[in-house]
């Protein structure tokens, strides 16, 4: 897309660029939900399960700063009777954790396998929480996004400049100094989802493979040049 103004002697082009990198950081959403006949028992059991999960995560090398409590709930557990009435059958307590796993890729840009790898860490956490654990999903990101964004900006600039030079050359002129630059950036990261009850796993401790794919960062710039 280009625009020009003969009176002002300018030309404006829009350039787009992208850069790609292997994700090296994973954020996992994990929740624990327990049921009991009283609020106190449900709450206590949820706490015990959470402590077990956190203990296993710490044992696998996840630092405390990367284990965050992101939710805590207690609610009534009810069912509808044949008489179309709601009946209280107990209480449900829940807590949610957001876990950050760092340096998850090896030197070949593939997911680290075995103990210490993200798949094994997640499996150990699920084992520790038992059937009360739910996985809400995971997000893959690049820790140093600014370095990747620099490549996207370079590509966007080259795109905008090439278009401006092409149009000005066809018009028989030359580009002067840059008058204005505006930027819009976006991030597109692979976000595989894992959503299942722990009881659905094929066997205790079995790790589900995680594929890293690629993270994409994009930049769009609008550049206005003065015409010579």
Domains in the chain, start-ordered, CATH in brackets?
A: 25-141 (3.30.70.2970)
Output the DSSP codes for 204-218: TTPPPP-----EEEE
CA 46 to the chain's CA centroid: 26
Q: Please check the confidence at residue 137 and state whether its pLDDT lies above 90.
A: no
- Which are the contacts of 154, defined by CB distance < 8 A and separation ≥ 6? 17
pLDDT at position 192 = 46
60-97 burial, b for 16+ CB within 10 Å, e for fewer? bebeeeebeeeeeeeeeeeeeeeeeeeeeeebbbbbbb
145-149: average pLDDT:
91
d(CA 212, CA 21) in angstroms, rounded, equals 10
pTM (whole model) above 0.75: no
Q: Is the pLDDT of residue 200 over 60?
A: no
Which residue shows structure tokens 């300018």?
A: 10
Q: What is the mean pLDDT of the chain?
A: 87
């Amino acid at each position: 897309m280009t625009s020009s103004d003969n009176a002002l002697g300018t030309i404006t082009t829009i350039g787009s660029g992208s850069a790609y990198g292997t994700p090296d950081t994973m954020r996992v959403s994990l929740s624990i939900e327990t049921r009991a006949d009283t609020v106190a028992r449900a709450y206590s059991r949820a706490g015990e399960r959470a402590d077990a999960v956190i203990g296993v995560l710490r044992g696998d090398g996840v630092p405390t700063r990367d284990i965050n409590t992101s939710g805590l709930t207690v609610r009534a557990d009810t069912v509808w009777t044949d008489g179309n009435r709601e009946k209280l059958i107990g209480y449900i307590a829940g807590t949610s954790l957001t876990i950050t796993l760092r340096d998850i890729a090896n030197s070949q840009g593939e997911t680290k396998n075995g103990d210490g790898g993200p798949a094994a860490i997640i499996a150990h956490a699920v084992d520790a929480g038992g059937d009360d654990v739910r996985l809400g999903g995971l997000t893959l990101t690049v820790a140093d996004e600014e370095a990747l964004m620099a490549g996207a900006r370079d590509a966007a600039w080259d795109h905008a400049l090439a278009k401006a030079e092409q149009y000005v050359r066809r018009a028989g002129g030359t580009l002067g100094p840059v008058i204005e630059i505006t930027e819009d950036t976006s991030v597109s990261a692979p976000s595989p989802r894992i959503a299942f009850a722990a009881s659905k796993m094929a066997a205790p401790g079995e790790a589900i493979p995680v594929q890293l794919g690629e993270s994409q960062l994009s930049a769009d710039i609008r550049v206005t040049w003065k015409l010579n």
